[in-house]
Amino acid sequence: MLNQPEQLQKAVEELDRVVGKERLVEESDIPNLSYVVACARESLRLHPIAPFNLPHVAKEDLTVAGYFIPKGSQVLLSRLGLGRNPRVWEDPLRFNPERHFKDNSHELGLAEPGLRFISFTRGRRGCMGGTLGTLITVMLFARLLQGFTWRIPPELEKIDLKENDRLFLAKPLHVYAEPRLPAHLYPA
């Protein structure tokens, strides 16, 4: 978001409007922080927790989306490919939180019912902690945005988000964080 300061500013303004600067953001604030949630969702879409889901084995011959999958085949879903698929997402490599709002409204939930990207596995053997994991991610993100003013070091023009072959940043992340709340809100 530091590479797109207008989006960072919108998220911080939403936090200031909903939560203010005299207390820390709480779980009960999350339903009123639609832009912050959209930013977290967009981050998970572009940079999934893991590149693939756990492998599954086809119990019988089947055809999915025109592809024949023989019985016994291992099936993997590329979370990275799904979240960056240009047939699903317009301008898929651009960070754009607004794409998660329904019909230009600010209505938004934590789940992805259309399965256009997957943060946690779904279905009968899906991740039981998906909702909790998403909530913890949003809370951490909101607290970091609320608690600090973030800046790119002066010697850098922008943050390089290129990934290595293991999906980690190819270069270390260097940013400045300056406290923006009253001192008593920070643990000693």
Q: State the CB neighbour count (10 A cutoff) for residue 31.
A: 12
Short-list 110, 70, 65, CA closest to 85: 65
Antiparallel, parallel or unpaired: β 67-69 and 74-75: unpaired
Query: What is the distance between the alpha carbons of residues 28 and 89, in angstroms, rounded to a whole number?
Result: 31
Scored b (16 or more CB within 10 A) or e, 140-168 reads: ebbeebbbbebeeeeeeeeeeeeeeeeee
**CA–CA dist 135, 139 (Å, integer):** 6
What pTM was computed for the model?
Answer: 0.84
- Locate the domains of the chain by residue range: 5-185
What pLDDT, on a 0 to 100 scale, did the predictor assign at position 99? 87
5-185 to CATH, choices 1.10.630.10, 3.10.100.10, 2.60.120.200, 1.20.120.160? 1.10.630.10
Alpha carbon distance 145, 8 (integer Å): 8
What per-residue confidence (pLDDT) applies to 149? Answer: 98
Q: How far apart are the first and last CA of the chain?
A: 28
Per-residue pLDDT of the chain (188 residues; tens, 9 = 90+): 999 999 999 999 999 999 999 999 999 999 999 999 999 989 988 988 888 888 889 999 999 889 999 999 998 888 888 889 999 899 999 999 998 887 666 666 545 656 666 666 666 767 777 778 889 999 999 999 999 999 999 999 999 888 887 777 888 899 999 999 999 999 87
Alpha helix (H) residue ranges in the chain: 5-18, 34-46, 79-83, 130-147
* pLDDT at residue 65, as a whole number: 83
CA distance 170 to 165: 8
For 67, list phi and psi in degrees, rounded to 5: -105, 130
Known binding-site residues for heme equal 127
Which residue positions form the known binding site?
127
